[in-house]
């Protein structure tokens, strides 16, 4: 039970899964940020170069076509509402246009109303109705925002997953605990950073500002995550300082004894604690088939479950009372709330638990 535990097949599998997820998300983020965002920015610059087709006399690339509203429909699908106009131009061609929101044009028009469409590169970018003007979803202005938000947030999650893969690959050098908290901290930090990265492009006016806001927002998240990881790493394999509670009457609770000793019996999944008695039993009432733990048992410390412990995976909230019976290691696994009763039942056989860096119960 001493030394650094070796990497297992389960840990290598976990490292591989985290790594594959991280790489896949990294590829997606790269495609969004290095391909799709530049394409949308270039299209926006081209649209700006023609004055967004907003001049009284727009360039030849821009066409303004008179049209008539045939239908205005709001469609609800997948928790989202789409506002669409069906327009017919003077040549009889029908255009189905999705508007950005309801205001001001969509709410104002009715079937039969005359409108003016602004067409750029064969797509309707804007609809005018009298003095009212509204962009369509095909407008290049700001079209990069949602793509950049998706790319930056995906990149943040990708980095978190890749860090988790790296940590699992070398986990045996960091912590013996069965459920180390470092990975959880970093993955949660990555998700928090992803939320900041997603909002940044949507709340700013240009990509450079969005990147700056995202970078500044990630700093406190990264600092807090680094401090928590350092904190957990320093306390890896720590012992808990637990105050014994001597039972005045018999108490029966879930727990098991593990080790190469005769009183560690498979299926004995309950413990009976009483004054001067600690016994294992398969009976949830604790009345029959008791196996008392001997007076030679000595407590060494209380800790979290380790990967090298015998037996299966303990339930959530389990703690281990690490003991020895002569030269044989013995492990009493029970819920954290029941550890004081175990120590109290063992009574004078219990050694002083290590002090310093422990957690009180």
- Mean pLDDT throughout 16-43? 95
Residue 5 CA to residue 291 CA, distance in Å, equals: 31
- Report domain extents, the chain: 10-28+143-234, 44-135, 251-349
Which residues neighbour 179 within 8 Å (Cβ) at sequence distance 6 or greater? 304, 305
For residue 320, is pLDDT > 70? yes
How many residues make up the chain in this entry?
361
**Model pLDDT for residues 83-121, shown as the tens digit of each residue:** 999 999 999 999 999 999 999 999 999 999 999 999 999
Which residues neighbour 163 within 8 Å (Cβ) at sequence distance 6 or greater? 186, 190
For residue 167, is pLDDT > 50? yes
CA atoms within 13 A on the CB side of 260: 4
Helix segments in 87-206, DSSP class H: 105-108, 144-169, 182-203
Q: Which of 68-72, 184-188, 205-209, 216-220 shows the lowest per-residue confidence on average (mean pLDDT)?
A: 184-188
DSSP state of 343: H
**Model pLDDT for residues 174-192, shown as the tens digit of each residue:** 566 665 677 888 889 999 9
**Model pLDDT for residues 253-286, shown as the tens digit of each residue:** 999 999 999 999 999 999 999 988 999 999 999 9
**Model pLDDT for residues 38-61, shown as the tens digit of each residue:** 999 999 999 888 888 887 787 878
CA atoms within 13 A on the CB side of 82: 11
% of the chain exceeding 90 in pLDDT: 61
Which residues neighbour 103 within 8 Å (Cβ) at sequence distance 6 or greater? 134
Q: Are 29 and 22 in contact (CB under 8 A)?
A: no
CA distances (Å), 61 to each of 57, 122, 281, in order?
Answer: 11, 9, 86
Does CATH place domain 44-135 in 3.40.1000? no
**Please, what is the end-to-end C-alpha distance for the chain in angstroms?**
24
Q: Are 182 and 233 in contact (CB under 8 A)?
A: yes
Helix (H, G, I), strand (E, B) or coil at 15: helix
| Residue with tokens 């970078």, as numbered in its chain | 215
DSSP state of 125: E
Count other C-beta atoms under 10 Å from residue 348's C-beta. 6
**Model pLDDT for residues 323-357, shown as the tens digit of each residue:** 999 889 999 999 999 999 999 998 765 554 444 44
Helix (H, G, I), strand (E, B) or coil at 323: strand
| DSSP string over 23-79 | HHHHHHHHHIIIIIHHHHHHHHHHHHHTGGG-SSS--TTEEEEEEEEEEEEEEEETT
C-alpha torsion 240→244→247→248, nearest 10: -160
Q: What is the mean pLDDT of the chain?
A: 87
Q: Are 134 and 141 in contact (CB under 8 A)?
A: no
pLDDT of 355 reads 43
pLDDT of 176 reads 65
| DSSP string over 248-310 | SS-EEEEEEEESSSTT--TT--EEEEETTEEEEES-TTS-SS-EEPPTTEEEEEEE--BTT-S
pLDDT of 178 reads 61
- Whole-structure pTM value: 0.69
pLDDT of 275 reads 87
**Torsion 99-102-108-109 (CA) sign:** positive
């Amino acid at each position: 039970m001493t030394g650094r535990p070796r990497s297992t097949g389960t840990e290598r599998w976990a490292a591989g899964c985290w790594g594959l997820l991280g790489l896949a998300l990294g590829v997606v983020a790269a495609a969004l940020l290095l391909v799709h965002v530049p394409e949308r920015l270039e299209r926006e610059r081209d649209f700006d170069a023609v004055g967004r087709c907003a001049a009284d006399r727009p360039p030849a690339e821009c066409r303004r076509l008179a049209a008539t509203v045939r239908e205005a429909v709001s469609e609800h699908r997948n928790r989202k509402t789409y506002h669409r106009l069906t327009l017919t131009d003077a040549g009889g061609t029908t255009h189905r246009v999705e508007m950005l929101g309801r205001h001001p044009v969509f709410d104002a028009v009715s079937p039969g109303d005359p409108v003016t469409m602004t067409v750029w590169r064969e797509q309707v970018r804007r609809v005018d109705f009298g003095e009212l003007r509204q962009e369509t979803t095909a407008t290049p202005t700001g079209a990069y925002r949602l793509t950049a938000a998706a790319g930056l947030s995906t990149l943040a999650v990708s980095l978190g997953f890749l860090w988790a893969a790296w940590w699992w690959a070398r986990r045996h050098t960091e912590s013996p605990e069965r459920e180390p908290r470092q990975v959880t901290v970093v993955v949660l930090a990555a998700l928090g950073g992803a939320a900041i990265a997603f909002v940044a492009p949507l709340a700013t006016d240009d990509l450079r500002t969005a990147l700056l806001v995202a970078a500044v927002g990630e700093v406190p998240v990264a600092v807090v995550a680094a401090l928590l990881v350092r904190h957990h790493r320093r306390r890896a394999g720590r012992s808990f300082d637990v105050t014994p509670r001597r039972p005045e009457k018999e108490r029966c609770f879930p727990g098991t004894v593990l080790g190469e000793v005769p009183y560690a019996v498979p299926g004995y999944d309950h413990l009976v604690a009483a004054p001067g008695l600690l016994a294992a039993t398969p009976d949830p009432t604790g009345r029959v088939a008791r196996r008392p733990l001997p007076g030679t048992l000595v407590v060494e410390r209380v800790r979290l479950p380790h990967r090298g412990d015998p037996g299966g995976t303990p339930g959530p909230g389990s703690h281990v009372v690490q003991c020895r019976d002569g030269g044989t290691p013995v492990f009493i696994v029970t819920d954290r709330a029941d550890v004081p009763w175990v120590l109290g039942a063992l009574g004078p056989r219990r050694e002083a638990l290590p002090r310093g860096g422990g957690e009180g119960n």
